[in-house]
Amino acid sequence: MQYEFEIPVPPSANRYWMIANNRIVVTSEARNYKQQVFYKLAHLTEPLRKDIAVNVTVFRAYKRGDLDNFLKIMLDALQGIIYLNDSQITEIHAFRDDDKNNPRVRVLVYEL
């Protein structure tokens, strides 16, 4: 079983958490991104239950942003929708490209 889809480019992991009232909380930007992904992918059937591999190509709008900083929020956003838990991920293949006219993330997730 596999899923192939495109989702918006996530905010950087540098903007995932913030400190508020002496607590670390998820930013509204990260919460909004997770909600966008949920609405885009909610029509998919069941989350994958076996070990999985994830292939990701991030098409950035601007030539900035480390590839690894895009992954954390994106993989967390897919949890519960495409797979039950991100602990199921045993392989990650990540690539970066640029497309200022159509920034996006192309994702392929498949069971191993």
Task: Look at residue 96 and tell me whether its pLDDT is greater than 90.
Answer: yes
Structurally, how many domains does the chain consist of? 1
Q: What is the CATH number of the domain that holds 71?
A: 3.30.1330.70
User: Rounded to an integer, what is the distance from CA 31 to the centroid of its chain?
Assistant: 12
**At CA 86, angle to CA 7 and CA 48, rounded to 5?**
75
**At CA 79, angle to CA 62 and CA 84, rounded to 5?**
155
User: What range defines the domain where residue 27 resides?
Assistant: 2-111
Phi-psi region of 94 (alpha: psi -120 to 50; beta: other; left: phi over 0): beta
- Per-residue confidence (pLDDT) for residue 37, from 0 to 100: 96
Could you read off the pLDDT of 4-62 as tens digits, one per residue?
A: 999 999 998 777 766 778 887 778 888 999 999 999 998 877 899 999 999 999 999 99
Helix %, strand %, coil % of the chain (to 5): 30, 40, 30
Structure-model confidence comparison of residues 96 and 13, the more confident one: 96
Indicate the pLDDT class of residue 104, thresholds 50, 70 and 90.
very high
Give me the helices (H) in the chain, please.
Answer: 28-41, 67-78
pTM: 0.88
On the 0-12 / 13-18 / 19+ scale of CB atoms within 10 A, 82 is buried
pLDDT (average), residues 80-102: 97
